[in-house]
Every structure is written in C-alpha cells, then in structure tokens.
Structure 1
C-alpha cells in the first residue's frame, strides 16, 4: 500500500461524536487533517468531543457537513439513510466533497443521494470495538478497516485506502454485495464471543469460583491465539475427543441454566467442525450427537 496517494490536508466534519466518530476524528487529526467541526447532542458525546477533539466547534449536522471537505458520518446503522437524505435536502453536500460512513452493515448504496449530489462516497468500517476513549486511537493502528466503494470507482477506492493508511490501519476491500455477509461474520465473532465469555464467567461463579475472569483469561487468550493460527486443528475438549459421557454430565449440570441452549448448539457445531477436520472419528461423532439429541428429548 506504500504507493497509495495521500489525500491533501482536508477539513473534516464529524457527525457525530459517538464512540467511533470521536476516535476516527482524532485519528484523522493526528494524521495531519483539520477537524473543523463536530456534532454532539448527548452529555457523553459532548464529553468525548471535549476530550478527543478539544477546541473543535460543536455545530448542527448540516453546518458540520457544509463546512467540510471530508464528511464523516458515524451514526447508528438505522439512522444513516435518513441523515444522508437530510444533508442532501439542506444542500449541505456539494460536488467534490468526500462523504464517508463507518457502518459495518451498509456499503455505499446508502450514500447514493450524496453521490448524485456529486460527492465521492466511501464506506470505512474499522474492525474493532470502541470505548470512545483516547486509547482507541492507538488501538486503531493495529486493526483492519473494511472499505467499500462503488464498482469501477477507483478514485473512491484509492481515497478510502489512503485515509485508512494515514490512520496507520490496514485497508481491506469488501465488495458492496458482500457487505452484509462480512458484517454478519464480524458480529458473530465479536458480539457473540462477549456473550459466550460472560456466560462462562457466570457459570464459574455458580460453581463457587469467585475470580472467574482471572481464571478464564489465560485459557481463552490461548484458545483465541491457537484458532487464529491453526484453525480447526486448535479444537480440544470432550466434544472434539468424542467423550460423550463428559458431554452428558455437562448437559445434566446445565439443565436449569440459561446457558444450556447455547452449549448444546455450539457442541453440535464443534462436532461438525471436528469431524470435517478429521479430528473426530465417525463413531465417536455419532455418540456425541446422539447424547446431545437424547438429552434434549
């Protein structure tokens, strides 16, 4: 990516100063751009703007967009389409502007009204979770950013890549048609991982283990590292070994737990992956699946 052209110093307008917008605004400022204005309504967003974008004027969204070369739209997925239509209707978008949104679920089709107004449109989705604090700006340098631009619009693709490289992140091209599947994969991994870990901690506390997070930390960190390095070859535990008796004991002690349906579903999926990877023999896989089915009945 060293050959990617660097955009000129841009006046950036951030709509709004949520966890993502405030951090990306700070990252763009650190890379040499000028954050000219930001929109913020809630007390939390005003505090984030004050901390991460100090001395930046807080203005209504149309004013933020109208004064910017680069308009950064960092609003919830369901608000994005209406915001874009509103900015265009108020003549806040002009030819030659760069309009970027940060939604993972959307590609650039949602920005079509801005594109028709003459703006260069790009979707930039950082693949990380945000706290909205200053350490996120540094964490951004270790993450990938999913980029989507219109098919054939190489100028938009290159501008998106250049902005990502300027923030010291890694650009990854995601076609418009693949955007929902891309986002589903990330949500399944990150969001459901949090639910899974929280359920594990609750179950450990039910077993009398007080410092559950400290117990889980090394185990889960090693498991994550192993699967990222080795894929299905990292599978361990009673399901991957075909130890149906242990699985039956787990199902019994989890009988009254809200964790049981997730345990059962993930055990089945683990058996499928272990079988496909050649780790679990067919007869033992059948025993595990039979145990899971019998316990449910």
Structure 2
C-alpha cells in the first residue's frame, strides 16, 4: 500500500469521527475539513486536529478531499451521501467515501458511487460512550477489529487504514452486515442492559457496598470462562442444574419488586434452558417442564 497521506474530511464530529480524525492526524494525514450540523462540535474537533476548514453544511467539504469519512448517525448516512454528491466542486473520481455504520453496507453510499467514488463500510467493533474522553477513546481503539465491507480495491485501502489506527480487519459480505451488527449489539448493548438489571435488583437489597464491586468477580469469571472455553461449557446456575423451584422463586420476586423485568428474565431463561439441554445438563422432559413454566409468566 502506498504511503500516501490522504487529504481527509470528516462529516459527523461525534465520538467515532473524532477518534478517527485524531488518530489519522497523528499519523500525518491532513484533516482538511470537518463538517457537522453542530458547528460547535465541528469547531472543537477541528481545533484538535489542526483543521482550518469548518462548516455546518456539505458545501464546506474541502474540494481536494481524497478520503471522506461519514460518521453520522446510521439513519442519515444515505441522506448525507446524497447531499455530498450534489456538491459539484468535489473531485468524486479521486474520492474514497467511507461510512462507519455497523448495520448498513456500502450500498447506502450509492449516490457517491454513481459519481465515480470508491465506497466502503468500515465499522469499529468497540463501544463509544458519550462521556468518555478523546484520550480514552484513542486507547480503546487500539487492537480492536474493524468490520470492513466493500470491493477488492476498497478493502486494500481499508486494511491500510485499520493498520494505521492500530486495529485488525475482518472482511464481510454485504449480506452478512446486519447479522454481524446483531452480534455486536448482543456483545455490547444487551450486556449493559443486563448489568443495569443487576444494579436495579441490588438497589432493592440496600447494599452498603457498590453493586459493581460485589458482582464484579462473578461477572468477570463468567465472561472469562465463556471466552476461554465455550458458552455451553461455561454455563452454570439453577437452570443448568435443573433447579426449577429456584426459577419459580425468581419469577415471584421479580413480579413483586421489578415486574417490568419479568419478560426479559423469561426470554433469557428459555435460551439458557436450550443451552443446558444441548449441554446434556437437563433432560428433554426437564426442558419441556421449564419451558411450560416460563410460558406462564
């Protein structure tokens, strides 16, 4: 891959756009324009990466841009691409347009592709909380994987960029992007949701200690066991033991204290029963029994 320092523009000055801009700037890429409907956010990022061209409209994208990152919310990527494609000043045939959505493919950049631009999707397999600092974001992106989807030419460039960002590449087919993103959501968002339930239940206990400190060893051990062996081998607990009276007690307590979580518990318990049955920890009869119990909740 040539050591070209691409003139880079960022559309969307949120966490993802900011960390990509900052890391590429550190690697010597000139950030030639930053665009965001929130001009203040665009200006703040531009200052950090020594960019002189800032705007709240697509007309502010530098005309000599080689590399364009669209790091907007997923639902507006296609609209943004259409707006950018209408900017006749841009040298589209020299432009590579990249979006960072996990669920969308490069097809949402079709309006730019029709103009002659190279297009690809480039998604970091990482979580970017709003309150985290840019310094911490840069640390968190080191060593992670990026899900890349695009043609052969774009994949070569993507691999180069991922390497510069300190990451590793996995290549995805268009048809697999939604499934890939589903795995990301379960690996991150829904784990956080489950931990929130733990914190709510802990609040009912009026613990003197932080719930995080109390349950951290259990959480870490469960994750480590699942990751170093298999989730099936790592499974423990009342359903895995066939202790369905405990499950009945859980449901009773949930209905009493946090009834809104009963549905989540039942859904997770059914999947846990499937795992326990596939492991051979419970019999078919026990599997049917627990499903019958959970269907009543």
Q: Do they fold alike, i.e. is TM over 0.5? A: yes
4+ residue runs of structure 1 moved beyond 6 angstroms?
none
List gaps (5 residues or longer) in structure 1: none
Residues in 1 aligned to 2:59 and 2:149: alpha-carbon distance in whole angstroms: 24
Per-residue CA deviations over 1:91-117 (Å, capped at 9, x if unaligned) read: 235102111110111111111111111
Q: CA deviation at 1:206?
A: 0.8
Task: State TM-score, norm by structure 2.
Answer: 0.90
Could you list the per-position Cα deviations for residues 223-268 of structure 1 after superposition, in whole angstroms to 9, with x for gaps in the alignment?
A: 1222122221111110111110111111111113121110111001
> 2-side partners of 1:272 and 1:284: how far apart?
11
Match of 2:220 in 1: 221
TM-score by length of 1: 0.90
Which residue in the other structure is 2:21 paired with?
Answer: 25
| Maintained 8 Å contact 2:33/2:46 | no
Q: Secondary structure at the match of 1:124?
A: strand
1:85 aligns with 2:82: yes
Q: How does 1:212-291 map to 2 (within 5 A)?
A: 212-231=211-230, 232-256=232-256, 257=258, 258-291=260-293
Matches within 5 A, 1:65-144: 66-91=63-88, 92=90, 94-131=92-129, 133-144=134-145
**What is the Cα-based RMSD across aligned positions, in Å?**
2.0
> How many angstroms apart in 2 are the aligned matches of 1:88 and 1:116?
9
Partners in 1 of 2:97 and 2:79 — Cα distance?
15
**1:48 Cα deviation after fit:** 5.1
Q: Is the 8 A contact 1:128 1:143 kept in 2?
A: yes
Q: Compute the displacement of 1:199 (Å).
A: 1.0
Counterpart of 1:53? 49
CA pair 70-101 structure 1, distance change in 2 beyond 3 A? same
List runs of 5+ in structure 2 lacking aligned partners: none
Distance 1:31 1:277, change over 3 A: farther
The match for 1:195 is 193
